[in-house]
Amino acid sequence: MNWDESCDVLVVGSGAGGLTGAYAAARAGLSTILIESSDRFGGTSAYSGGGMWFPGNAVLRRGGGDHDFASARAYYHEVVGNRTPRDLQDAYLDTGAELIEFLEEDPDLAFIVHPWPDYFGALPTASATGRHIAPAPLPAASLGALRNALRPTLGEERSGMPLADELVAGQALVGRFLLALSKRSHVDLQLNAALTQLVEEDGKVLGAVIRCPAGHKRVKAGKGVLIAAGGFDHDAAMRERFGVPGTVSGAMSPPSNDGAAIKAGMAAGGAVDLMDQAWWSPGLMRPDGRSTFTLGFDGGVFVDQDGQRFMNESMPYDRSGREIIARMEQDLLRLPFWLVYDNRDDGAPPIQFPNQPIGELDDYRAAGLLRSGATLPLLAAAIGVPAVALVATADRVNEQVACGIDDDFGRGAEPYDRVFTEGRLPMDRIDRAPFHAMAFGLSDLGTKGGLRTDRDARVLDSSGSPIAGLYAAGNSMAAVSGTAYPAGGNPIGSGMVFAYRAANHMACDPERQNT
């Protein structure tokens, strides 16, 4: 076999999963190449809040967070159920605290408590403050030349905001890993290098073919290849083939999350699971044609084509997304649906956390995505819903605000619902003219179906046997959380855990000690 380059561990993708895998492999003394197909490191993880759900970890213990591990385990088992193997679930639950202890030994990797309620707050085992931590902020200048290699935030990349001097959230997570990796020897971080194919022999993965600006090269990976290349969010054909609700226009990840690495894993015999699943959200329809992940509705109500409310607008975003999908599948909801609100904030929509600046409302108006009426019946005409129904919807909301209880949809009943309103009911009257409506569709934070793995992130074939030398983590792996999104910090937290477990497995796999 002719190889152009050689390493112990080849990591594909530079999100939280890939960076954790590369870092753990390098710290175990393995020579490591990390390839990133785009021109920036960080993937969706760089856009993210950087939250991590690791029950019982030392940061929670030190910072006074909820560190009751037994109830966290019971909570996770109950929410996820038996859709994924229990031993996979336990591998996530049992490894998070260990991973944080391991990472905190490095002064470049620091974390803080970030209270964030669990997403099924009605369960007795749910935590109202959460089991959630975040990276500590990091001065951008500490990255030196790597600063320009870090994928910017959504606001910086899509809305032209200036680059921040202080990195927080996902920026700090990716930045801290880049900083830590830059101080390790035997690590080679490569941009514009995309996995196109795995090289196999006798059922073992020996390395990969990589497309880079100079052409294609073959890289030998003595211990194994870790696919942590995100989901297949931007591959319209693959979405359609596997029946993922929503479209590419609602995908929040960078366009380079195109599923090519998952396909390479499938071509090498990897089985897949959960391929119709994503981490969903209501999506604010934008003038550029995107529908974007939006949370923190502290007023207004969603109405359907009949002018009626259909859900708790403040519930956790993936539960909202699943409600939207279920209603669409039953033909009860057509897109767009509308966020209806009044003029109490001079026409600004009651959205606390759009993830990317909303921009100029006039642009939405010009695109037909923001409509107004001097009265509710005029607004109803503008959005094509029955006037009587819209007036009745607003009257009902006003009654509920007066009583302080939404007894139709339970808005405000769970701690998460009130996280953006400092504990108050996240609703407001709809009675100040003029009235407004913004168009909404479906968005996703990434697909979550992918290569099936065991608890050490080894990719399994269709008979359930591990494929030697092939590992998967993050959104490239069939998610441990199955068809649920138990808590904020699950996508990144589980991605990091399985990448770490993969690296540890590669470091001590007896079958490949002398490769």
Chain residues binding ligand FAD by CB under 6 A are 12-18, 35-38, 43-45, 47-51, 194-195, 228-230, 252-254, 256-258, 260-261, 279, 293, 355, 445-446, 474-475, 488-493, 495
3-class SS at 508?
A: helix
Residue-wise DSSP of 406-425: -TTT-TT-SGGGGTTTTTS-
Question: Residues 286, 357: contact at Cβ < 8 Å?
Answer: no
| 403's tokens | 């009583």
Q: How far is the CB of 475 from ligand FAD (least distance, A)?
A: 4
On the 0-12 / 13-18 / 19+ scale of CB atoms within 10 A, 107 is exposed
Q: Output 259 or 415, the one with its CB closest to ligand FAD.
A: 259
On the 0-12 / 13-18 / 19+ scale of CB atoms within 10 A, 464 is exposed
Q: How far is the CB of 180 from ligand FAD (least distance, A)?
A: 16
Q: Output 3 or 353, the one with its CB closest to ligand FAD.
A: 353
Q: How far is the CB of 282 from ligand FAD (least distance, A)?
A: 13
Q: Which helix (H) or strand (E) holds 43?
A: helix 43-47
Q: Output 303 or 497, the one with its CB closest to ligand FAD.
A: 497
Q: Output 39 or 407, the one with its CB closest to ligand FAD.
A: 39
Q: How far is the CB of 250 from ligand FAD (least distance, A)?
A: 11
On the 0-12 / 13-18 / 19+ scale of CB atoms within 10 A, 79 is buried
Question: Residues 468, 202: contact at Cβ < 8 Å?
Answer: no
Q: Output 177 or 409, the one with its CB closest to ligand FAD.
A: 177
Question: Residues 496, 20: contact at Cβ < 8 Å?
Answer: yes
Q: How far is the CB of 179 from ligand FAD (least distance, A)?
A: 17
Which residues in 433-473 belong to E strands, given as ranges?
A: 435-447, 450-451, 458-460, 466-472
Q: Output 300 or 488, the one with its CB closest to ligand FAD.
A: 488
Q: Cβ of 357: how many Cβ atoms within 10 Å?
A: 12
Q: How far is the CB of 463 from ligand FAD (least distance, A)?
A: 26
3-class SS at 280?
A: strand
Which of 299, 204, 307 shows the shortest CA–CA distance to 515?
204
Q: How far is the CB of 283 from ligand FAD (least distance, A)?
A: 11
Q: Output 279 or 280, the one with its CB closest to ligand FAD.
A: 279
